[in-house]
Chain A
Amino acid sequence: MEKQIILNPTHLDLTLKRLSHELIESHNDFSETVLIGLQPRGIHVVSRLKSSLEAILGKEIQCGNLDITFYRDDFRRREKAIIPSVTNIDFSIENKRVILVDDVLYTGRTIRSGLDALLTFGRPSKVELLVLIDRRFSRDLPIQPDYVGKTVDTLISERVSVEWKETEGEDKVVLFTKESNE
Chain B
Amino acid sequence: MNNLSVDHLTGIKDLSKEDIELIFKTADSFKDVINRPIKKVPSLRDITIANIFFENSTRTRLSFELAEKRLSADTVNFSAASSSVKKGETLIDTVNNILAMKVDMVVMRHPNPGAALFLSQKVNARVINAGDGTHEHPTQALLDAFSIRERLGTVEGKKVVIVGDILHSRVALSNIYCLQKLGAEVMVCGPTTLIPKYIGDLGVKVSHNLREALEWCDVANMLRIQLERQDIKYFPSLREYTMLFGLNKEILDGLSKEIIIMHPGPINRGVEISSDVADSSQSIILDQVENGVAVRMAVIYLLASKIER
Contact = CB atoms under 8 A, between A and B. Distances in A.
B155 to A, nearest CB: 20
Given A76-B304, A76-B305, A83 B37 contact: no
A80 to B, nearest CB: 5
A80 B2 contact: yes
B3 A120 contact: no
B57 interface: no
A81 B302 contact: yes
A81 B309 contact: no
- Say what secondary structure dominates the interface of chain A: loop
Interface string A56-96: 00000000000101111001110011111011000000000
Contact of A84 (B26, B38, B71, B308): B26
B37 A70 contact: no
Contact of B42 (A87, A116, A121): A116
Contact of B3 (A75, A76, A81, A86): A81
B29 A81 contact: no
B41 interface: yes
A82 B29 CA distance: 12
Given A76-B304, A76-B307, A84-B26, A122 B2 contact: no
B99 interface: no
Interface residues of B, number: 26
B36 A120 contact: yes
A47 to B, nearest CB: 21
Contacts of B32: 86-87
A70 B41 contact: yes
Nearest to A78: B305
A120 B305 contact: no
Given A83-B2, A120-B36, A121-B37, A67 B304 contact: no
Contacts of A82: 2
Contacts of A72: 43
B33 interface: yes
A76 B26 CA distance: 16
B25 A83 contact: yes
User: Which of B46, B304, B305 has the largest count of A CB atoms less than 10 A from its CB?
Assistant: B305
Given A75-B43, A83-B2, A84-B26, A120 B38 contact: yes
B2 A81 contact: yes
B158 interface: no
Contact of B37 (A69, A81, A116, A120): A120
B211 interface: no
Interface in B285-308: 301-302, 304-308
A74 to B, nearest CB: 11
A71 B3 contact: no
B40 interface: yes
Contacts of A77: 309
A76 B309 contact: yes
A84 B41 CA distance: 13
Contact of A70 (B2, B42, B309): B42
A110 to B, nearest CB: 15
A69 B297 CA distance: 14
A82 B3 CA distance: 9
Given A81-B305, A83-B25, A87-B29, A70 B43 contact: yes
A138 B43 CA distance: 25
Nearest to A67: B29
Contacts of B44: 75
Interface in B52-89: 71
Contacts of A84: 25-26, 29
Interface in A130-177: none
A75 B29 contact: no
Contacts of B36: 120-121
A71 B38 CA distance: 13
14 contacts: A70-B42, A70-B43, A71-B42, A72-B43, A75-B304, A75-B305, A81-B3, A81-B302, A82-B2, A83-B22, A87-B32, A120-B36, A120-B37, A121-B38
Pick the 8 closest A-B CB pairs, nearest first.
A70-B41, A81-B305, A120-B38, A84-B29, A83-B2, A70-B43, A75-B43, A80-B3
Interface of B: 2-3, 22, 25-26, 29, 32-33, 36-38, 40-44, 46, 71, 301-302, 304-309
Given A70-B33, A84-B25, 7 more contacts: A70-B29, A70-B41, A71-B41, A75-B43, A76-B309, A80-B2, A121-B36
